[in-house]
Structure 1
């Protein structure tokens, strides 16, 4: 009986370690160690780095700094974090990255809006038309450099919910808006951005 229970536990551990989703066995993912960070994310070390508990991204107007998870997001998930746009005007959460397509959920200082849009990103090109994409939904919000913003994103039953500081909200249907239904997670900046308290949780 003891041998059987050990075998079952071993199989469960193997299944968890081979999971293709970003969530852990505890149904929540946090960045805590540099070694874990490097194994879980695909990035250029000149563009993204982890200092203690702070994820720092550096890009430019002509070349956006992008980091992408190596694992798939669950079908239903919740993402929480705080972001500070130190320089420039754009910070973007790349949701459900599938090949070169993804959902854009971003803070844009030039227009002073939070936005949901269709995204395209080519790793090998900074040409116009091979990054970014059209706006689908937007809502005005005062956005500044050197200020922390609390971001919450929730995807459940093909409904996308995006809020900043728990005061400005956007919501849409992924299916009706013809958005990428599933994929990986990424972050993008056209200047310098800092992220803290990142939590990614799988929802039932």
Structure 2
């Protein structure tokens, strides 16, 4: 009986590790102390770290701190988390990272907007034009440092929905806006940002 249980456990671990997406239809992905960060994410440990259940990122105006998932996002997914921009002005959720291209979904204090844009991210380069990209859609919102915001992002049938505190909403068609339709997930900051209660789930 013990041998059967051990085999079942090993097989389930192999299936989980070989899965190409960060979450499955049966299980959502969460960041917790019990989840080894390095097994699921690529990052510089001087820029991103997990303490208890809080993911903290640091960067600067000339060098943005980036963390990128090792596995792809599902075709249809939902991402929920709480965010606190403790320093500086920019926090970005990088969606569908595919080679150098991705979808920019971000909160920007200087302009006091949430934004959907078309992004480019050249690893190991801080040159102008090799990170960030043009704004496609934006909505005004009052943003402050040291305040928690609830962020929800949903991609379903090529339609992107982005909301903050269930009050400020943006949406667009990935196909009509010529945005990446598949790829990995990332987070980016130009200061210090804290993320808690991160949940990523596959939706039908």
- TM, length-normalised to structure 2: 0.93
The alignment status of 1:133 with 2:133, answered yes or no, reads yes
Contact persistence 1:34–1:50 (CA under 8 A): no
Query: What does residue range 13-52 of structure 1 map to in structure 2 within 5 Å?
Result: 14-24=14-24, 26-33=26-33, 36-52=36-52
Query: What does residue range 154-173 of structure 1 map to in structure 2 within 5 Å?
Result: 154-173=154-173
CA deviations 1:75-116 (Å, max 9, x no partner) are: 000000000000000000000000111000000000000000
- Give 1:35 deviation, angstroms: 5.4
Structure 1 equivalent of residue 87 of structure 2: 87
- TM, length-normalised to structure 1: 0.93
The alignment status of 1:74 with 2:74, answered yes or no, reads yes
Structure 1 equivalent of residue 99 of structure 2: 99
Aligned partners of 1:187 and 1:7: how far apart in 2?
36
- Structure 1 7/146 Cα, relative in aligned 2: closer, same or farther at 3 Å? closer
The alignment status of 1:56 with 2:56, answered yes or no, reads yes
- Structure 1 197/175 Cα, relative in aligned 2: closer, same or farther at 3 Å? same
Contact persistence 1:103–1:118 (CA under 8 A): yes
The alignment status of 1:124 with 2:115, answered yes or no, reads no
Contact persistence 2:25–2:203 (CA under 8 A): no
Structure 1 equivalent of residue 3 of structure 2: none
The alignment status of 1:153 with 2:153, answered yes or no, reads yes
Aligned partners of 1:176 and 1:164: how far apart in 2?
23
Structure 1 equivalent of residue 193 of structure 2: 193
The alignment status of 1:112 with 2:112, answered yes or no, reads yes
Aligned partners of 1:145 and 1:32: how far apart in 2?
24
Q: Which secondary structure state, in structure 1, belongs to the residue aligned with residue 55 of structure 2?
A: strand
RMSD of aligned C-alpha atoms? 2.1
Aligned partners of 1:27 and 1:175: how far apart in 2?
28
Q: Which secondary structure state, in structure 2, belongs to the residue aligned with residue 119 of structure 1?
A: strand
Aligned partners of 2:36 and 2:25: how far apart in 1?
15
Residue correspondences, number: 202
- Structure 1 83/8 Cα, relative in aligned 2: closer, same or farther at 3 Å? closer
Extract unaligned runs of 5+ from structure 2: 1-5
